[in-house]
Amino acid sequence: MQQWARIPKVMKTSWENLDMVPEAEEVSAIWNTARKTSWLWPRERRKVMCRALNGTTKNCIDYALVPKQWKISTLDTVALAGGDFDSHQKLAMASFRLRLKSAIQLQKKVPRFRTELLKNESTRNRYRINFYLAFNLENSSMNPEEIDLDTLAHESNEILIQTSETVLGRTNSSEKAWITDETIQMCKDKCAVANRQDRGSRDIS
């Protein structure tokens, strides 16, 4: 299951007019300050897009600092409105979104048996007889008054598994065909209907 998280902007400086925009050396000092005082170390320089108030985007010269450990999970990096050099604001850091993946816990594969064989009446009778004989043979020497329900349930489960392995056998999901016979027949019927409609339209014309 995927979760979303939004990382806030680190630093944003604004000026009242273009005359107050700092020089390149001052902008470099701003970047150095943001690098040293934030959690962005080690960092990656990534090009960002400037999004205007009307929703349109255009190329922006600014770069955003993205930590390396979150580089793969970064979805998009968008500079806020006014982050372009033509405006009265300079953006030192843009906000960006991350996709966080929850930890996947591996599960033990559950054994599966070919239960579709039980649709056959002879196989179903053979399965019933084998289970009945194995269960009676296992519990023939037990006194009914001394039977423990937990032990009986465990032994019944073991007998059921052994009978399924003997009569039905195990199956693997990789052995399943990628397309069933029913789907193939449906495709053939669809093609036949399409051909009849095509022939009918040609006869009318």
Task: Flag whether 191 is in a domain.
Answer: no
Is 0.75 topped by the overall pTM?
no
Q: Which structural domain, as residue segments, surrounds residue 151?
A: 109-173
In a domain, 203, yes or no: no
Whether 182 maps to a domain, the answer reads: no
What element of type H or E holds 34?
A: helix 24-37
Q: State the pLDDT at residue 100.
A: 54
Cα end-to-end span (Å), the chain:
56
69 and 116 housed in the same domain: no
Domain co-membership, 17 together with 77: yes
| Reported confidence tier of residue 116, pLDDT bands at 50, 70, 90 | confident
Res 60: pLDDT: 45
Q: Residue 114: inside a domain, yes or no?
A: yes
Q: Are residues 79 and 165 in the same domain?
A: no
Instruction: Provide the pLDDT for residue 6.
Output: 41
**Which pLDDT does position 42 carry in this prediction?**
41
Claim to verify: residue 141 and residue 169 sit in the same structural domain: yes
Percent of the chain exceeding pLDDT 70 equals 33
The pLDDT-based confidence of 62 (bands split at 50, 70, 90) is very low
Q: State the Rg of the chain over Cα.
A: 35
With respect to residue 194, please indicate whether it lies within any of the assigned structural domains.
Answer: no
The amino acid at 20 = M
Rounded CA-CA distance 132/130 in Å is 5
- Tokens (6 digits) for 201: 């339209």
User: Within this chain, do residues 96 and 137 fall inside the same structural domain, yes or no?
Assistant: no
Structure tokens belonging to residue 69: 């450990």
